[in-house]
Structure 1
């Protein structure tokens, strides 16, 4: 596939410790990211936090260009956040909702987003409506278009890739539908940035949020927010401080006109620098090559698990278009037991629970095992997981 697996594994210290199949939770950082974070923390220890930040000012400024290049955006449309959830909440808080307004979302929406939508809508008398999935499990764009045509929709908020079950929502088609009707579009790209090519112009979104710790391979406690330049004319962010606004007089202020209106003064500078390096690293690898390898590994794992007696793969989405997130269950054994069993054997996976997806299909079990591959994983590592599961099934 033309991908230098040996090279990226040589730059990933963690692959020598365990079989890490939990990139949907937190991927292993490349050595370059670790070095950047440690460099700045050591500078803070020697010089002081403010002084180290001043010394790194040019590199901090470079964060915006690095993320913009990865997303096909402009640097002034990028903001740093403490997490994807924080970035998502800030974006939602700037959308002017009123009584009777409609907000459309998906069956597979992450629970934090669902809570945020219900809270924001309930505060002003707006309504949150869940658009049905199609037969493949992705959001039904036809149903969404019909809902849009009924009028009164202010915002469409969906995820690109859910935290579970492998599906990839057709965000570009949704974006075209929203643009044609002048409706704001907010995309949660938590699982997709760093896993596939995400171009904000092709997606057609007004806001897009992502985390550093997942497939982008950045530090924990970091996130990013893309806000299209035109969104500066919407409502103000829910919170402003001396970084996002300036005093004009004793009782007046002016909010910044770029995406940094969503930022706070206090942040992890080391984390921001590390996230910039992670964005550069992903860009240098080439997101098309990354997506091809991750997608292929995901399908290999699904195929090998699905032939085991007593194992069920729960993934949805269109074959050939699914993500690297693979969810499965083992008959007669709880998902948490399987996770612990694999952990003792040196394999990292996670557990996805129904309450993480507030509008999920009730046919899903209460919990499933989630194994999420990344480009630094190998077929041999997948074989280790499959053999352990097969051993348990045959026990």
Structure 2
């Protein structure tokens, strides 16, 4: 058994296939939280400088994970929605400006742009169902297009887009590319430089195997000061910690987006979780996830009355596989799976499975066997 399996001591009989929603923490993240709680209860903040070293390691791990040019490009934020809002309400919009999104986006990457309508900004939704979704997205860009906001992997279908192609196309058109990376970061390699994106963001509680309440925001260095700030506090200042200083300015780094006290509890856990992903390596993580998704796909294809709603080409998917069953409504299918302790989600046109790199083959086989029983009445 690979060493990393011991990091996930899940309850026997539980079939966890829901990493695209909220993931279990690895053992080392739980231990980091436990140790931090004991330290707080016994010593308070006596060793706060040591906590800051953990936060510094976390920024460096995130820099490497995103292949950002510098850790100065990394902000630690509450969640993806907050980072998207920093972009949406930070840019200087003009009446008639256009934003391109897809018609499959999670509400976080749709509502925030639609909220700009009072400023005269138009949101254009592009259908991704054709043979070349990247071409469709780029074709929608016109002379008034300022920004393309797209999820690297669509939350319901699991469709993975060619980010480098989109980045090159946006750059050629003078369009900023904003990537919601929450369904790719931690499941597949992700590279902000190769994709030429202006902004990227993700929460930690899915494929990064971390708690809710802490995420990452990448902002390209030349764009940081172009985003108008709406949140101010001690932590986002260039000279944070110099409490008697009367003149001030926002930090030159992406810390300018971190208004107040950091989520140190979340940082302890996320730093530990990312250490595991680094040990395994993102290329290996992606390969192991692909093995598990292919296992699910092949098993589902053998069952009668199953409809697949996710791409079957490996280059078009990350860790999400969505399907439906002719004999049952999606709601009924989800309820039956829940009764059998299969943890999954009802999304889009069906039920969504999302295994991670450590998911045991037995979990998938047991789930396929249960579905086989359901197809037989």
Map of 2:88 onto structure 1? 92
Shift in Å, 1:246? 6.4
Please state if 1:43 is matched with 2:58: no
Distance 1:256 1:17 in 2: 50
Judge conservation of contact 2:161–2:316 (CA < 8 Å) in 1: no
The correspondence for 1:245, drawn from 234, 237, 258, is: 237
TM-score scaled by length of structure 1: 0.88
Q: Aligned residue for 2:216?
A: 224
Residue 136 of structure 2 corresponds to residue 143 of structure 1: yes
Structure 1, 18-27 or 299-308: larger mean CA deviation: 299-308
**Structure 1 counterpart of 2:293, from 288, 292, 298:** 298
1:263-316 deviations in Å (ceiling 9; x for gaps): 132342110121122222212211111111112211221221123112212113
Residue 310 (structure 2) pairs with residue 315 (structure 1): yes
What does residue 334 of structure 1 align with? 329
Gaps of 5+ in 1: 354-364
After alignment, is 188-197 or 217-226 more displaced?
217-226
Q: Is 1:387 matched up with 2:369?
A: yes
**1:1-395 alignment, distance < 5 Å:** 6-14=2-10, 16=12, 18-48=14-44, 50-51=45-46, 53-73=48-68, 74-120=70-116, 122-133=117-128, 135-136=130-131, 140-148=133-141, 150-245=142-237, 253-316=248-311, 318-353=313-348, 365=349, 368-395=350-377
Q: Distance in 1 between matches of 2:5 and 2:210?
A: 16
Q: How many residue pairs align between the two structures?
A: 373
What is the distance in 2 between the residues matched to 1:237 and 1:123? 19
Given that 1:236 and 1:255 are in contact with CA atoms closer than 8 Å, whether structure 2 keeps it comes out as no
- 1:66 to partner: Cα distance: 1.3
CA distance in structure 2 between the aligned counterparts of 1:147 and 1:165, rounded to whole angstroms: 21
In 2, are the aligned partners of 1:70 and 1:280 still within 8 Å (CA)?
Answer: no
Q: Which runs of 5+ in 2 are unaligned?
A: none
TM-score w.r.t. the length of structure 2 is: 0.92
